Amino acid sequence: MIRNLTPLSAGMALAVFLTFASPLPPAHAEALADNGAWQAIKELENGKPVCVMSAEPSKSEGNYTQRDTVLAIISHRVHEKRIGEVGIQIGYTFAAKSEAIATIDGKSEFKLFTQGGHAWAYDADADKALIAAMKAGTQMVVKGTSSRGTETTDTFSLSGFTATLNAINTACGVK
């Protein structure tokens, strides 16, 4: 059963991207880590702390002419009891009723449900399994199909993943 989620806020993803794309983080965000391919921030959403880590793909493939920012994102919203939520911001609108596939090191495969321009693990147990595989892996490949039928493949390095995850765990009090 698909969990009841609201889409990751575009503002949150943009804040993560801008935090590390510019020399100074946004005034409302605190930079936590910059390890290998992964960066992390802590910010307030409605006065509550949210810890987010993200990475851009090291390689993107597909027959597309334009795409928005692509990010792999792990977030902690402790006040909502949403810990270690895995999301992909894909940079286009997914095909209706499609799934994205995340594969770690060509071995472990995870199906992700899609909505708009985002994909998520189906439930908290799937999030935990995907994060465990990411901690043990060296790369994650995400495949998806756009609403126009374009197939894409994005490769994310997992270098620095565990250290960055530890940083958001500490900042948001997650054990």
Which pLDDT score, from 0 to 100, does residue 27 have? 57
One-letter amino acid at 79 equals: H
> Which overall architecture, per CATH, does domain 31-172 show?
Sandwich (2.60)
What are the b/e assignments for 63-83, b being 16+ CB within 10 Å?
eeeebebbbbbbbbbeeeebb
Q: Which pair of tokens denotes residue 171? A: 């900042």
CA distance 77 to 91: 23
Ranges in the chain, pLDDT < 50: 1-24
Which pLDDT score, from 0 to 100, does residue 26 have? 53
User: What's the pTM?
Assistant: 0.85
Cα 136 off chain centre by: 17
